[in-house]
Structure 1
């Protein structure tokens, strides 16, 4: 048996056990960093740290506080908060009490929050602030199981027998531990691998969210498997801004406990650009939209700086892509990431002019970035790869505890999601669907046995709903969502995300694109533009002072985008080409329900909202 197999097969029953082991091994080592607003209210945030030992004090107090409130093993404690250090401490507190965390995105409205709280039968809600408490109060009559609300930021919150602060909970916990010193360790020792640890409700692109039941063993396996990849070391500094209510963010906290590195937490997306040079992470995880926005922003700045600077950027971007493709191909064939002398010389010049500044914007120490949730356009991946920002695409679902595949370090291949994590099996069904089996797969959907049976075979194979291809040496390429594939009236199958990804690579102004054409005789698209980028361009065209909606309605903008659509079409099969498009009057967003909190597009919602534009594009067309 290999060392990796031994590491994974001899895993403890829970991450709570791993946490206790980590605290015992390195109590004084730094565990978490978190921002505290400057006392004056102005200027940069002051970053503070917690050692593993300090974190444990708070985790044990939270766990004991929950025990004192009467929370029993496997009973649910809901967490409705943005990403912050208290989220991690609370989640660990829930686990160390033997209970199970139900995650709720802070953006979730009162109705859906109440559904999740009710369906999960959560006994306690840990709420971030007054806004989250208000949602629970509004629906209290519908939530007979919800006995207490614990608030992290008590400003503007009236406490009573039902609502207490996190400080109150920790004080109760400390008092409880004075009388029952071993209570938390006893709860942890009693946890079994099959016991429920987390109930994550998929935000879903259609219908009511389903609760995905993830037992303790899923997270223990993930922690050991992530460590076994060797991608992360104890000396790393992770910058974690992803929503911890999402499985992608949550799995990163498990891996960190096993490896023992530092994690800096701040879920404020508008602070990412400010925080990166301060935190100087060695690795971070993100969704493709972040990389697309950085790429569009760099392109826009270069264009605004004038013709010569923009030409240098375009040349450098081309060199980066060529360099990445050649070095990745050579590494695959020879094990060395080499490039011909001429291309290497060009790359050195482009590095001094463009790439170095880009790396500095990411903090200057970024060894690798992991991208997941949705596919990254390969040309954007190649650009960053050639610029020295190595994006390792991964793949997984809530139902598979997030991390089923990841690209293997130096041997990464842009356009693929890499190889399965140690211990995970994969096969491709006859219709191209990706099937997974292994210790990361969910127990099933909460209280939905018929839905579980639709996706989980009796022998453990899970139907992902994604279409993919495996290379001879085990690299997986995702081609589309099974349900997103459509057939034109001419009988041709279209994978819309493939076309959408190619457009994002050729058009630096795009934010979101939806390719349509099911049962129609040609493809069309709804296109939303990146507001800062297009307004910058508009100012150069004499449209300064116009709103975003006015700019996208201008004939000059339509002509600009038409040029990029024409360029896209040159590289497509005839039946894939975009014959017509419409520019949207605003970008797609979470607030209007068009994107999930993890920024996945809800196609049915977009199509319903803009049905009038879709009808206009097909008006008078002859259907086969």
Structure 2
């Protein structure tokens, strides 16, 4: 049956035959949800394809989209694929220079934008690029033609172009280029990753087998469709016959969850950290016995492991905690969540355990744009899951750990190469066809892939010891007080860190402790604030090797975001940017004479005990 889906647009016939539904795709406009049926989805995709052909585009021509998530994105994506055209999806949040580079480098002929704001930005850039013939918009506003005009053109020329489109569709090969996706450029100029129809299809049909949800279930999609992670899972959701509801504004996620009551969604660790923080904050609002019971329930989650058999007494405790606390967590996320897939960065194990104990399995996965993207993911269908790992390798991907620890992979989802850059392609795909991921990892129990760091981000200190900064940064971010951190110390005697606080949490903490401040710049200078961060860092140092300990740190007064440049659109740290921006602070850290602490103070030794006396607690709540 799966052989029926060999190109992405084969999903349309596949769903019409196997999973027809009235809400194949859904979106929200003017405060109300609207949907497209499977047959409408298929028809509109065909009209868009014919419209593009009627405008003179030919196989291999490129069309870009710059938009937030919306169901109509799929009409463009599927229409381009069936017409043999190449889709170049671009983030709606990057800078003008990146837009200019991508639009020129990809030889884009037409652009479809989301709204007026994006049109104003793109049109000014497109005016300088002769190859761009036109811009259309998903939303109605003056000055820009609506993308429906392309479909109307296709409809008016249907008698002429329908038989030609059918010929073109049948000629589209799995080996044909489907898309060029530009990497977010954490280390320099973006690279155009060329993915074929086979790359995409081989990947999503494989990871779609990881669970048994399907035609009776709904999902929400809010991570950018321009990123291969959300795009691949978007195909996966449709292939499984699930109704997909798109959220274009991150501020709409909570209402969408309450209204749609999804059974599954795709996420990134930072959002799940916010969910976790919300659970903890809720508990802190309670008083007396209710608060004790709440945090007793939180503490029970440390026992969670997939496939673990709990003893009788622990099962009884979990049952009580579920009735009193975990059920409220499920309710807050729509009461239907079965799975959350997490990717893009490391997920803190405590979050997987909290969500898992509440019956919402949070499945960590791993991959790159160049691998279409999934290499490994925790797999509930086969009961192959392990907290703290990205799960087993996909059944059609081969993984090898090189002598230096780098993860190498091979399979049908490995990219065709970088567009117009055979030299760069040769740097990452060796003569034997192995793709070099640049990530360091191990296979636990010979099966579960665990990522430990980025190869290029590891650095050596002056004493010869190596530091894997990402691992330490992830530990630092487990603190409620720390939003982002960057570990530094290459060629220095000791490791240090720049820390961007979780200002929302820190402001609440200051309010509780009656600490007054003028602004964030004043706040990070406060003695009481720095003392609290000393405790947080000292607690984390206890979990690190001696050479890995953070001897000094500095708090910065800015939040790090993609808009301000410290993070990529996929929320990865831009180390070069941060290093340049805070060079004066880094120089000051290593110029200071005192060996330990922020602002020259010694980090205190802090004993951290988060466990409860269970027997005493059980007596108090009379179980």
SS in 2 for 1:489: coil
Given that 2:45 and 2:75 are in contact with CA atoms closer than 8 Å, whether structure 1 keeps it comes out as: yes
What is the CA distance between 1:407 and its match in structure 2?
A: 0.4
> Cα distance, 1:111 vs. partner?
2.1
> What displacement does 1:218 show?
1.0
1:369 aligns to what? 340
Aligned with 1:458: secondary structure? coil
Match of residue 520, structure 1, among 475, 480, 492: 492
Q: Tell me the CA shift for residue 258 of structure 1.
A: 2.0
Worse-superposed segment, 378-387 or 482-491: 378-387
Q: Which residue of 1 aligns with 2:540?
A: 568
Deviation (angstroms), 1:287: 0.5
How many Å separate the matches in 1 of 2:350 and 2:487?
19
Aligned partners of 1:433 and 1:465 also within 8 Å: yes
Deviation at 1:84, TM superposition (A): 1.1
Aligned to 1:52: 38
Taking the aligned partners of 1:304 and 1:22, their CA distance within structure 2 comes to 47
The structural deviation recorded for 1:141 is 4.5
Paired position in structure 2 for 1:170: 151
Tell me what 1:4 maps to. none
Residues in 2 aligned to 1:556 and 1:26: alpha-carbon distance in whole angstroms: 59
1:140 maps onto 2:133 in alignment:
no
2:514 corresponds to which residue? 542
State the partner residue of 2:454. Answer: 481
Structure 1 residue 305 displacement after superposition: 4.1
- How big is the shift at 1:559? 1.6
Paired residues of 2:398 and 2:411 also in contact (CA < 8 A)? yes
- CA displacement, residues 95-136 of structure 1 (integer Å, 9 cap, x when unaligned): 122101001101122221121111000111111122222233
The answer to whether 1:404 aligns with 2:375 is yes
Structure 2: gaps (5+ residues) = 596-623
Provide the secondary structure at the position in 2 that maps to 1:125: strand
The answer on 1:467 being equivalent to 2:440 is: yes
1:210 and 2:191 are equivalent in the alignment: yes
Equivalent pair of 2:457/2:469 in contact (CA under 8 Å): yes
Once residues 52 and 254 of structure 1 are traced to their aligned partners in structure 2, the CA distance between those partners, rounded to angstroms, is 14
Q: What are the superposed Cα offsets for residues 331-364 of structure 1, whole Å, 9 maximum, x if unpaired?
A: 3xxxxx3112333233233323432222111111
Paired residues for 1:577-588 under 5 Å: 577-588=549-560
The alpha carbon displacement at 1:416 in A equals 0.5
Q: 1:391 to 1:28 in 2, by over 3 A?
A: closer
Which ranges in structure 1 are unaligned for 5 or more consecutive residues?
A: 1-6, 38-44, 332-336
Query: Paired residue for 1:266?
Result: 247
Q: Taking structure 1 as reference, are residues 154 and 544 closer, same or farther at Cα in structure 2, changes over 3 Å only?
A: farther
- Using the TM superposition, name which of 119-128 and 257-266 deviates more: 257-266
> Residue in 2 aligned with 1:243?
224
Query: Residues 538 and 184 (structure 1 numbering): CA distance in 2 closer, same or farther, change over 3 Å?
Result: farther
**TM-score, normalised with respect to structure 2:** 0.91
Q: Pick the aligned partner of 1:315 from 275, 284, 296.
A: 296
CA RMSD of aligned residues (A): 2.1
What's the CA shift for 1:231?
A: 4.8
Contact 1:17 1:189 in 2 (8 A): no
Q: 1:86 maps to which residue?
A: 72
Cα displacement (A) at 1:313:
4.4
Deviations 1:164-197, CA, capped at 9 Å, x for gaps: 2112111111111143333433322110111110
1:528 shift after superposition? 1.5
**2:22 is aligned with 1:22:** no
Worse overlay, 82-91 or 442-451? 82-91
Q: Which residue of 2 aligns with 1:494?
A: 467
Runs in 1 of length 4+ with deviation above 6 angstroms? none
The range that moved more, 100-109 or 352-361, is: 352-361
**What is the aligned length?**
593
The answer to whether the 8 A contact 2:409-2:437 is kept is yes
What are the within-5 Å matches in structure 2 for residues 411-426 of structure 1?
A: 411-426=384-399
Distance 2:511 2:585 in 1: 27
* SS of residue matched to 1:342: helix
Q: Does the CA contact (< 8 Å) of 2:5 and 2:14 recur in 1? A: no
CA distances 1:219-261 after superposition (whole Å, capped 9, x unpaired):
2212321233345433231111010111101101221232221
1:508 and 2:508 aligned:
no
CA contact (8 A) 2:4 2:10 kept: no
**Could you tell me the TM-score, scaled by structure 1's length?**
0.91
CA contact (8 A) 1:382 1:414 kept: yes
Q: Which moved more, 1:301-310 or 1:235-244?
A: 301-310
Q: Deviations over 1:492-516 (max 9, x none)?
A: 22211211222233x1222111122
CA distance, structure 2, for counterparts of residue 584 and residue 311 of structure 1: 35
The match for 2:612 is none
* Aligned twin of 1:41: none
* TM-superposed deviation, 1:474: 1.4
Secondary structure of 2:72 counterpart: helix
**Could you tell me how far apart the structure 2 residues matched to 1:487 and 1:374 are?**
23
Alpha-carbon distance in 1 for matches of 2:291, 2:525: 26
Aligned to 1:3: none
Other-structure match for 1:531? 503
Q: Secondary structure at the match of 1:553?
A: coil
Query: Once the 2 structures are TM-superposed, how far is the Cα of residue 388 of structure 1 from its aligned partner?
Result: 2.5
Call closer, same or farther: CA 1:571–1:483 in 2, change over 3 Å: same
